[in-house]
Amino acid sequence: MHILACIKQTPATSNVQIDPKTGTLKREGMAAAINPFDEYAIEEAVRIKEKVPNTVVSVLTMGPPQAEESLRDAISRGCDQAFHLCDRAFAGADTYATSYALQMGIRKIETVTQKKVDLILCGKQTNDGELDIPNAAYVKKVEEINETMIRVWRMMEDGADLIELPLPALIAVVKEINEPRVPSLRGKMAAKKAVIPRWTAQDIEADKTKIGLGGSPTIVASSFNPPPRIGGVKIGGATAEEKAKNLVAKLLEMKLI
Amino acid sequence: MNYFLTEEQQAIQETAREIAQKKIKPVREHYDVSEEYPWPIVEELRKADLFGVYFPTQYGGLGGAGFELCLVVEEISRVCGGTALTIACTALCAFPIILFGTPKQKEKYLPDLASGKRLGAFTITEPEAGSDATATSCKAKKEGDYYVLNGTKNFCSNGNAAEIYTLFASTNPARGPRGLSAFIVEKGTPGFSMGKKEVKMGIRASPTYELNFDNCKVPAENFLGGEGHGLSVAQGTFDISRPGVAAQALGIAQGALDEALNYARMRKQFGQSVLSFQSSQHMAADMATQIEAARSLLYSVTRAMDKDLLAAEALSEKSGKTVYEELKKVSSKRWTKYSAMVKLFCSDVAMKVTTDAVQLCGGIGYMRDFPVEKYMRDAKITQIYEGTNQIQRNEIGYALIKELAKG
Ligand SMILES: Cc1cc2nc3c(=O)[nH]c(=O)nc-3n(C[C@H](O)[C@H](O)[C@H](O)COP(=O)(O)OP(=O)(O)OC[C@H]3O[C@@H](n4cnc5c(N)ncnc54)[C@H](O)[C@@H]3O)c2cc1C
């Protein structure tokens, strides 16, 4: 099986640590600039690899040259090989342009590794746009996986759904899914030695009009975090009829009907 | 302070530190209170390759030696001195096999110990044989292709968690210390059972057990180091392993100082931080200075020892002779004096520093829900096991007299 983890690096500044001994900026801290949500995707990919024989885990990111550090970090956490989309032409991409570039990158990975990607894993906030395959977001547990399908628990507001997707599929995971391991010593050595291909838009044969700022139909007027939803009300009742009655009563009480 | 660690040693230190901070610190109190075995932490240590740092690469290790082990033990002990024994006791089981094992024994046992798949323990102590370790009454009688073990061992760390044990028993009681021999014994061998589990003052995450042997048949191929050579096996092992106890002590001392300083800076009395009192600063200065001296001694001795040990390991791979035989060629001297000094000094520092750490914190330092008193309880054992500090002084004194006699 071929698993691909798609990751993003966080802006290094939010990750900066001061070495308590020297008072200077800590380089090692900077190196681990993987988007925290993506660590869960990487960990889950590596756990599946440990369970399913003959599995390789690739990792892909799109970003500036420094983003290579996050790919090395992913290797130290157990990924086998890494690929880097790196070109000024990709800059300023919205979700549409990003998912197009990733899609072309995935094709290129499949060509060079001669292995179709069966499962794409990403973190909660990396789920960039759509790829043309079955997908599930907010996944909190992988129940079962084999060469042809994956069965996962998806978090819902009022519980969880067990859903089955045929492979290839895309899964976006939440932090409840696992507890990421500390990078291993052998992983760190492999990460240091790894040769990571750096691909331009031309290398992945991307259509120039579909990438970067120019290829992004979205115009960001301003960005904000949506306010958290404040809890709803669950309408109880032993039977469907009773529940309906209670619902109507509630709506009447709120003068909505 | 620059200790001139190689890139690999830095990675080992950082990895151990990250696991200690992220995975061990949040649960250390739980294991201290419950005395459960910290299996989830063992799993983290396995995945991070930390069990393998001191094993030769051909047996699944990372090719380091005693110094690398000390870096790991120090970092874990800085957070929890008990949990560090998951690795340190496995090392105490592995060293005699590394030093005295035949190629076959090394191939059979070292890879599992290096990966942490199976944990190890070392058992020489008996109810009547503590400091006088060769007063062994556990007996091993040869019967065909087996040795039949009978007797009781006690105070065995990693007791029920281990699956591989290096054990000492008398094959010839008439010869006293010269009748002692070493064996590799596997858990599950018929006639081998767990006895009482001890309830302890400190290192409570480490289970200490009595072991019983009742007509326990051990294959003759598990004989380690030759008939009547048990004393050499034990002494050769302690030479290399005592720095591990020292590293545990050093980590405990450093952890206690870290916690005490943090608290003392925040704690206000008479309108000021208690760390602003000169007497507190002097106490902290003495603690920090002793720790630094302990670290310097530990690091320089283990590095010097490792140079010989690694050379002997390389020769042994070519010659097929034991590492210990090659070690005698590489270096004419035994390391007893220095390894005793390291263990003695670091553990005395740990006891002093952890006691002062409690003092620096005042009443809160004495409380169970504050981490400082645990360091003091954990420190005490480092002055006792692998030879009490009185025994270390005896060894150092004996070595000095021997040197004088040689002129
Ligand atoms: C928590 C714990 C874990 C342990 N783990 C292991 C283990 O994994 N494997 C193992 O084999 N053993 C283990 N031990 C045993 C440990 O090594 C012994 O307890 C230690 O060597 C001391 O022996 P003893 O307890 O019999 O003390 P004793 O020998 O009875 O000593 C009592 C006192 O007399 C002093 N004394 C004795 N002889 C002399 C002398 N010749 N000169 C001066 N003073 C002397 C000692 O220093 C001590 O102060 C463990 C012990 C403990 C407490």
Task: State in Å: Cα B155 to ligand 1 middle.
Answer: 9
If one looks up domain B121-224 in CATH, what number appears? Answer: 2.40.110.10
- For chain B, give every residue range classified as CATH 1.20.140.10: 230-406
Report the complex ipTM: 0.88
**Helix, strand, or coil here: B165?**
strand
Question: Span B21-37, mean pLDDT?
Answer: 97
Cβ burial of A226 (10 Å; 0-12, 13-18, 19+) is exposed
Query: Residue A126's pLDDT is what?
Result: 55
- Distance CA(A52)–CA(A42), nearest Å, equals 15
Domain B230-406: give its CATH superfamily: Butyryl-CoA Dehydrogenase, subunit A, domain 3 (1.20.140.10)
Q: Does domain B7-119 have CATH number 1.10.540.10?
A: yes
Nearest-CA residue for atom 27 of ligand 1 = B130
- Nearest-atom number in ligand 1 for the CA of B159 is 8
CATH number for domain A2-210, candidates 3.90.180.10, 3.40.50.300, 2.60.40.10, 3.40.50.620? 3.40.50.620
Ordered by start, the domain boundaries in chain A are 2-210, 233-257
Query: Residue A28's pLDDT is what?
Result: 44
- Distance CA(B229)–CA(B354), nearest Å, equals 39
CB contact B396 to A (< 8 Å): no
Q: Which two tokens stand for residue A14?
A: 């939010």
Query: Residue A222's pLDDT is what?
Result: 58
pLDDT of B218-232, one tens digit each? 999 999 999 999 999
Examine the pLDDT at B407 and tell me if it is beyond 70: yes
Please tell me which residue, B147 or A210, carries the higher pLDDT value. B147
Evaluate whether B100 touches B144 at the Cβ level (below 8 Å): no
CB contact B286 to A (< 8 Å): no
A73 interaction partners in chain B (CB closer than 8 Å): none
Peptide bond into A168 cis (omega under 30): yes
Sign of CA dihedral B311, B317, B323, B327: negative
Query: Residue B218's pLDDT is what?
Result: 97
Pocket residues: Cβ below 6 A from ligand 1:
B 89, 121-125, 130-131, 155-157, 200, 208, 381, 384-388, 390-391, 394
**Helix, strand, or coil here: A140?**
strand
- Distance CA(B23)–CA(B29), nearest Å, equals 12
CB contact B50 to A (< 8 Å): yes
Task: State in Å: Cα B31 to ligand 1 middle.
Answer: 25
Question: Span B88-111, mean pLDDT?
Answer: 98
- Nearest-atom number in ligand 1 for the CA of B200 is 1
- Distance CA(B304)–CA(B211), nearest Å, equals 36
Query: Residue A220's pLDDT is what?
Result: 58
**Helix, strand, or coil here: A26?**
coil
Query: Residue B75's pLDDT is what?
Result: 98
Residue B129: which pLDDT band, with cuts at 50, 70 and 90?
A: very high
DSSP B303-314: HHHHHHHHHHHH
Query: Residue A152's pLDDT is what?
Result: 95
Please name the residues in contact with B271: beta carbons below 8 A apart, sequence gap of 6 or more. Answer: none
Evaluate whether B171 touches B147 at the Cβ level (below 8 Å): yes
Closest Cβ opposite residue A181 in set B8, B44, B62: B44
- Distance CA(A149)–CA(B320), nearest Å, equals 52
Phi-psi region of A201 (alpha: psi -120 to 50; beta: other; left: phi over 0): alpha
Average pLDDT, chain B: 97
pLDDT of B278-288, one tens digit each? 999 999 999 99
Examine the pLDDT at B332 and tell me if it is beyond 80: no
Q: Which residue bears the tokens 């409570």?
A: B204
- Distance CA(B9)–CA(B39), nearest Å, equals 25
Q: Provide, rounded to the nearest whole percent, the portion of chain B with pLDDT above 70.
A: 100
**B142 DSSP β-pair partners:** B147
Gap from B1 CA to chain A (nearest CA, Å): 9
Q: Which two tokens stand for residue B81?
A: 């001195």
Please name the residues in contact with A171: beta carbons below 8 A apart, sequence gap of 6 or more. Answer: A119, A120, A121, A122, A135, A136, A137, A139, A142, A150, A152, A165
Chain A residue with minimum CA distance to B57 = A186
User: Which one from B74, B210, B373, B386 is the annotated catalytic residue?
Assistant: B386
CB contact A189 to B (< 8 Å): yes
Evaluate whether B360 touches B375 at the Cβ level (below 8 Å): no
Residues of chain A with pLDDT under 70: 10-33, 125-130, 218-231
**A142 DSSP β-pair partners:** A152
Question: Catalytic site residue B386?
Answer: yes
- For chain B, give every residue range classified as CATH 2.40.110.10: 121-224
pLDDT of B354-383, one tens digit each? 999 999 999 999 999 999 999 999 999 999
For chain A, count helices (H), then strands (E).
6, 9
State the distance between the two ends of chain B, measured CA to CA, in whole angstroms.
38
State the distance between the two ends of chain A, measured CA to CA, in whole angstroms.
55
In terms of Cα–Cα distance, which of B127, B311, B124 is closest to B232?
Answer: B124
Please name the residues in contact with A99: beta carbons below 8 A apart, sequence gap of 6 or more. Answer: A128, A129, A130, A131
CB contact A183 to B (< 8 Å): yes
Phi, psi of A166 (to 5 degrees): -75, 150
Evaluate whether B303 touches B379 at the Cβ level (below 8 Å): no
Query: Residue A89's pLDDT is what?
Result: 86
Query: Residue A11's pLDDT is what?
Result: 57
Question: Span B162-175, mean pLDDT?
Answer: 97
State which of B93, B123, B131, B200 you would mutate to test the pocket of ligand 1, scoring each by most atoms of that ligand within 8 A of its C-beta: B131
B50 interaction partners in chain A (CB closer than 8 Å): 185
Contact flag A186-B22 (C-beta cutoff 8 Å): no
